[in-house]
Amino acid sequence: MDWSLPLNLSTQGVVIDRLFWIIAVLTGVAFILVEAGIIWFSIKYRRRDGQKAHYTHGSKKAEIIWTAVPAVILAVLGIYSGGVWADIRGASALPQDALTFNVVAKQFEWNITYPGSDGRIDTADDFVVRNQFHFPANEPVIVRLESEDVIHSFFVPELRVKQDAVPGMTIPIWFEATGTGEYQIACAELCGLGHYSMDAQVVIHDRADFDAWSAGQAAGN
């Protein structure tokens, strides 16, 4: 029973996980207060013969407190979330001159276009590999997501990355891996009967290995 967030391997994952655990603590406290209150009241005020309930229509003071406290906490959380969100997905958050890949989803595979030896996408030396996504660690990379048929969703749990790929749109996202290794892309949006098996291999290299792999692929083509 492994009920935890999987290993995190991205810079964005650090802040996402931190925010997750902040919310977990806040909601955990609220959860314990509410559930303990319900159980305590249920026992303490259970029916007793001859006992008459306390007649009240409410308390303005109490109601103001329990409106204001959640409102303030939620407002702070909203503003903090908004800042983190802008760092990840904001219009100016996309890094300049980062290594760029095109990822085109279709039922039920991922086709990745690599920038080739010049390091630039949309040039003559680009090459395409099906269901294999290799990229270098420790530098930001951009993925331009597209779909050929229906909506898919590009999900790599260890990178804390998820973004729908929508036909007719090109959606750029970025991330920076902090370690190397082999993982998987999963499709997170129901896309048809092969949805469950629409996975692809993710291989994160250090930069030298990536360049070597890329050169090998280009030569092979």
Partner 1 sequence: MATIVAEGTGQAILEEHHPQTFLRKYMFSTDHKIIAIQFLIYTLFFLMIGGFLAIMMRYQIAWPDQTLPGGGILPESMVASGYMLPEFYNSLVTMHGSIMVFLAIMPMLVGVYANYLIPLQIGADDMAFPRLNMMSFWLMVPAGLLTLASFFVVGGAASSGWTLYAPLSARPDLSGVELGQIYWLLALVLIGLSSILGSVNYITTVINMRAPGMTWFRMPLTVWALFITAILGLLAMPVLSAAGIMLLFDQTIGTTFFLPEGGGQPLLWQHLFWFFGHPEVYILILPAMGFTSEIIAAGSRKPVFGYHAMVWAIISIAFLGFVVWGHHMFQSGMNPMLGLSFTISTLLIAVPSAIKTFNWMGTMWRGNLHFHTAMLFAVGFVAMFAIGGLSGIFMASTPVDIYIHDTYFIVAHIHYVLFGGSLFALFGAIYYWFPKMFGRMMNEKLGKVHFWLTLIFFNLVFFPMHGVGMAGMMRRIYDSSGYAHLQGIQDTNALITFAALGLYASGFLFAFNFFWSMKKGKKAEANPWNATTLEWQTPSPPMHGNWAETPVVYHGPHEFSHPDVEDKDWLAQNERPDVVSPAGGGH
Kindly determine how many residues on this chain lie close enough to bind partner 1 according to the rule CB under 8 A. 90
In the complex with partner 1, the residue whose CB is nearer, 8 or 217, is: 8
153: left (phi over 0), alpha (psi -120 to 50) or beta: beta
Residue 127: strand pairing partners: 114
Q: Decide: 135 and 93 in contact? Cβ < 8 Å.
A: no
219 binds partner 1 (CB under 8 A): no
Q: Is 14 in the site for partner 1 (CB under 8 A)?
A: no
Q: How many C-beta neighbours within 10 Å does residue 214 have?
A: 23
Interface positions, 41-70, toward partner 1 (CB under 8 A): 41-42, 45-48, 51-59, 62-63, 66-67, 70
Tell which positions 115-134 bind partner 1, by CB under 8 A. none
Residues 138-157 that bind partner 1 (CB under 8 A): 149-151, 153, 155, 157
Contacts 24+ apart (CB under 8 A), 67-73: 73/26
Question: Of 45 and 139, which has the nearer Cβ to partner 1?
Answer: 45
Q: Is the Cβ–Cβ distance between 146 and 104 less than 8 Å?
A: yes
The amino acid that residue 58 corresponds to is G
183 binds partner 1 (CB under 8 A): yes
Binding partner 1 (rule: CB under 8 A), the pick from 168, 208, 219, 220 is 168
